[in-house]
Amino acid sequence: MQPNLSGARWRKSSLSADGASCVETAFVGNDVAVRDTKNRDGGTLIFSRTEWTVFINGIKNGHYDNPV
């Protein structure tokens, strides 16, 4: 079931400045919502907080540095 995103507080990296080629995240209950700033109405990916933590830790640990 998709969380209610009507009151979501969307954030993007401060390093992206005013660029439109970014993703935004919102923490909603036990979920993390992710959307594209170029097309905010184009759909939203929903991850559990556990999935999001595993993903972020993978980035920090270089897991995705060498794409296949």
Residue 58 is predicted with a pLDDT of 94
55 within domain boundaries: yes
46 within domain boundaries: yes
Looking at the structure of the chain, the number of domains it has is: 1
44 within domain boundaries: yes
**10-residue averages of pLDDT along the chain (68 residues):** 89 76 91 91 93 95 83
41 within domain boundaries: yes
Note the pTM of the prediction, 2 decimals: 0.81
17 within domain boundaries: no
The H or E element spanning position 57 is helix 49-60
Residue 54 is predicted with a pLDDT of 96
8 within domain boundaries: no
Residue 20 is predicted with a pLDDT of 66
Beta strands in the chain (DSSP E): 23-28, 31-36, 45-48
67 within domain boundaries: no
Residue 40 is predicted with a pLDDT of 85
Tell me which residue range forms the domain holding 41: 22-60
Residue 52 is predicted with a pLDDT of 96
